Amino acid sequence: MTSYEPPRGGSGGPAVRVLGPTVDDQTRCFHYAGPLDVIAIRFHCCGEFYPCFRCHADAADHALSVWPRAEFDTHALLCGVCWSTLSISEYRATDACPYCGTGFNPGCSLHYPLYFAE
């Protein structure tokens, strides 16, 4: 298994690591490796970041659980370009990173039910 550390150390934020078969340092994985696939997600079940639910299924030894609405202020999304974290509420309300402006894949919204309680 590989994991990537933030490309710029000492930026002041908490250390973040992304588990699973990432293929570059912007958290793309071999399931979703398009130019917009730069989001990693912290899973409710284990508190670890993975690039996508398929990575979690491949690498974790347990079934995933979704974030309940009461915890939507948790910073569970990671922009793989600038390594800033977004809360679930922030992420669901935007289509681009508020910190670096990178557009997020609009197709990800199709997968919301896999990660977040509706």
Residues that bind Zn ion (CB under 5 A): 29, 31, 43, 45-46, 51-52, 54-55, 60, 79, 81-82, 97, 99-100
Rounded alpha-carbon distances, angstroms, from residue 32 to 10, 26, 46, 52: 29, 12, 21, 8
Q: Pick the closest to residue 1 from 55, 42, 72, 82 (CA basis).
A: 55
CB of 113 to Zn ion, least distance (A): 16
CB of 48 to Zn ion, least distance (A): 6
For 55, phi and psi rounded to 5 degrees?
A: -60, -45
Q: Which is nearer to Zn ion, 64 or 72 (CB)?
A: 64
Q: Which is nearer to Zn ion, 46 or 72 (CB)?
A: 46
CB of 50 to Zn ion, least distance (A): 7
Interatomic CA distance for residues 44 and 31, integer angstroms: 21
